[in-house]
Amino acid sequence: MKEINQSKEDVKLGRFLSLVLRHDPKAAGICLDEHGFADVEKLLDGVRRTGRHIDMDTLERIVYENNKQRYSFNEDHTKIRANQGHSIHVDVELKKATPPSYLYHGTATRFLSAIKQKGIQKMGRQYVHLSSDSQTAMDVGRRHGVPVVITVCAEAMTSDGIPFYLSENGVWLCDEVLPKYFSL
Ligand code: HQG
């Protein structure tokens, strides 16, 4: 993870960009294409119409300094998309990959009994999100309450033919994790 301290304004703008590029493009009055890309000019105009201040330099800085590398430009920087985390249906051209033996999912203790029954479900998002290190998973879990990390036996899932995808920014994604794959 990058150790750059973003300004408060950039963090706030970044949160709004995540909302627009992952969940609600209408919040900036724009549309995404089938691969999740927004036209950069339209995005900048749209964000400005909400009363926020942004220009191309600011956008470049937010993308570059983002601690989780959440966004990517296309080659000529005329389009931008979020690398993962969507709730709306877009195809961000994820690459299938073979995960390490174990992956980690951070959640809150209050979800544990449901998760132990039904497995880890994607809930509002397109995929279940897993990390290759337990500290990142712990930080994700903390966003929901008292955190707990579930260790997932990814190797066993792979042996059973369950596909994994690796996002551009290193997040492991899959459709669900059944309780039999929890490594307790
Ligand atoms: C839980 C962030 C009850 C699940 C992070 C989680 C991540 C269940 C919550 C990314 C359940 C969904 C995604 C079940 C799962 N019953 N609860 N059967 N199955 N849950 O926010 O994984 O920082 O949609 O454990 O880094 O927390 O925004 O998913 O607690 O990579 O870039 O339901 O979002 O990325 O919450 O986070 P979320 P998540 P960013």
**Cα(146)–Cα(9) distance, integer angstroms:** 28
Ligand 1 atom closest to the Cα of residue 128 is: 22
Question: How far from 125 is each of 6, 7, 58, 139, 141, CA to CA, in Å?
Answer: 26, 28, 28, 18, 15
- In this structure, the residues whose C-beta lies within 6 A of any atom of ligand 1 are 68, 70, 85, 107-108, 111, 114-115, 118, 120-121, 123-125, 129, 140, 144, 171
Burial 4-39 (b: 16+ CB within 10 A, else e): eebeeebeebbebbbebbbbebeebebebeeebbbb
- The rounded Å distance from CA 85 to ligand 1 centre is 9
- Ligand 1 atom 30, closest CA: 107
pLDDT band for position 90 (cuts 50, 70, 90): very high
Closest ligand 1 atom, residue 131 Cα: 31
3-state secondary structure of 57: helix
pLDDT at 49: 97
Q: What is the pLDDT of residues 117-155, one digit of tens each?
A: 999 999 999 999 999 999 999 999 999 999 999 999 999
Ligand 1 atom showing the smallest separation from residue 119 Cα: 18
Q: Retrieve residue 59's tokens.
A: 């956008």
Query: Could you tell me the two tokens for 95?
Result: 């690459």
Q: What is the pLDDT of residues 15-70, one digit of tens each?
A: 999 999 999 999 999 999 999 999 999 999 999 999 999 999 999 999 999 888 99
